[in-house]
Amino acid sequence: MHDLLRQEVAATSDLVVVKVGTRVLTGPNGLLDRDRIASLAEELHQVISGGRRVALVTSGAVGAGMGQLGLKKRPSDLAHLQAVAAIGQAHLVEAYDQCLRKHGRHAAQLLLTADDLDHRTRYLNVRNTIHTLMEYGAVPIINENDTVAVDELMTTFGDNDRLAAMVTNLLRAPLLVLLSDVDGLYDGDPRDPASKLIHTVTELDASITALVREAGSGLGKGGMASKLTAARLVTTAGENCVIAGGRTPGNLARILAGETVGTLFVPRGGAVQSRKRWIGFTAQPRGRLTLDAGAQRAIVEQGRSLLAIGITAVDGVFAKGDVVTLYDPTGAELARGLSNYSSTDVEKIKGLKSDAIAATLSHCPYDEVIHRDNMVLTGE
């Protein structure tokens, strides 16, 4: 089954980021399913042979480590989780490499932390490395560096969904494919036979997120919630996202052939330039500014810069050049941007007209607290 929108997405997706979850890669016993990895490796090879470039974001290190150590239960403390992940990561990338080598390709391991993408220079270095690996015809196998990460491991779901979205924006890939243990987003509990698969989402609004909250409890709920967050990050930047079943062989090929597989999330607007993607969707905000209604209208409706007079509250400690989040009077996120002033200085000049900044700070290097060129709208 095809539709014109799917065909257009498939035709323009010369670079694809594929994310595969632990449940897709493991069997009922929690151990790595080598046959499934072999099937995925063959699909990736076929996609690359067809002229597309592919980056793979993979989960499964902890599950692979549990299998190697004969553990029946996931460790709950951080030290043991990191040790199990370290053992499992070696096994996981070896499995990918062996399967890809049958097709004459190399698996290239990249282990990332949030700091790698938060730091602008390291962010660009990661992008250059991935593109160079693709030139060699290798498959970048990307995972979170669980052995040094702290917060990420303690979160059961969402780590690699968000990482995949960040990699998609990093590479400006037109398509992110999230291969899951469910076939897509349903209008009810996926376990209910009466629930129907939603084929296309054009607006990721409250009615869509409400479906996840109502879909049940436990693993499935958390998994889909994180996937919708990833879809929002990608579509807000102007790219497409598909959530589809990863246990059905050939689904990736069918998606890239324009068939109606899974749920397609389409962009909210035009493509966002690379630098603004980093500001709006990757770099971690160091503080927050609350705006009055006038500043909100100026930014959202008129495309203006943020002036000090429109700021009502300052939270967090940040330096000049740091990313900060802008909130409307109700506490809803509006945008993110690079601050021209430190939090100490913004606290002094908030609510003032621009011509009063110099008298307050003894200098006025910028009329704007955040220039429009350094700002990205991120609110719903």
**Same-domain pairing of 164 and 245:** yes
Cβ pair 198, 207 in contact under 8 A: no
Distance CA 139, CA 56 (A): 7
277-326 tens-digit pLDDT:
999 988 889 999 999 999 999 999 999 999 999 999 999 999 999 999 99
Diameter of the chain measured on Cα atoms = 70
Distance CA 299, CA 136 (A): 44
Q: Which of 55-69, 95-109, 202-216, 310-324 has the lowest mean pLDDT?
A: 202-216
Q: 203 or 150: which carries more pLDDT confidence?
A: 203
Cβ pair 252, 39 in contact under 8 A: no
**Same-domain pairing of 142 and 217:** yes
**Same-domain pairing of 228 and 365:** no
Q: Of 161, 176, 193, whose CA–CA distance to 262 is shortest?
A: 176
Among candidate residues 224, 244, 276, the one where a domain is terminated: 276
Among candidate residues 276, 308, 329, the one where a domain is terminated: 276
- Across the chain, mean pLDDT equals 88
Distance CA 169, CA 350 (A): 33
Percent of the chain exceeding pLDDT 90 equals 63
188-219 tens-digit pLDDT:
888 888 889 999 999 888 888 888 754 443 32
**Same-domain pairing of 258 and 228:** yes
Query: CB within 8 A of 242, min separation 6: which ones?
Result: 175, 176, 177, 178, 255, 261, 262, 263, 264, 265
pLDDT surpassing 50 at residue 222: no
Cβ pair 135, 73 in contact under 8 A: no
Residue 151: predicted pLDDT: 54
Residue 157: predicted pLDDT: 32
**Same-domain pairing of 160 and 25:** yes
Distance CA 312, CA 176 (A): 38
**Same-domain pairing of 170 and 117:** yes
Residue 225: predicted pLDDT: 86
pLDDT surpassing 90 at residue 77: no
> Which domain covers residue 337, as residue numbers?
285-377
CATH code where residue 349 lies: 2.30.130.10
Residue 221: predicted pLDDT: 32
CATH code where residue 139 lies: 3.40.1160.10
Q: What is the DSSP string of 140-187?
A: EEEEE-TTT-STTTTSSSSHHHHHHHHHHHHHT-SEEEEEESSSS-BS
**Same-domain pairing of 242 and 353:** no
State the DSSP H helix or E strand holding residue 232, giving kind and residue range, or none if neither.
helix 219-236
Q: Which of 102-111, 133-142, 185-194, 320-329 has the lowest mean pLDDT?
A: 185-194
**Same-domain pairing of 47 and 154:** yes
Among candidate residues 255, 276, 297, the one where a domain is terminated: 276
* Structural domains in the chain (count): 2
**Across residues 130-142, what is the average pLDDT?**
95
- Long-range interactions of 206-210: CB distance < 8 A, separation 24+: 206/380
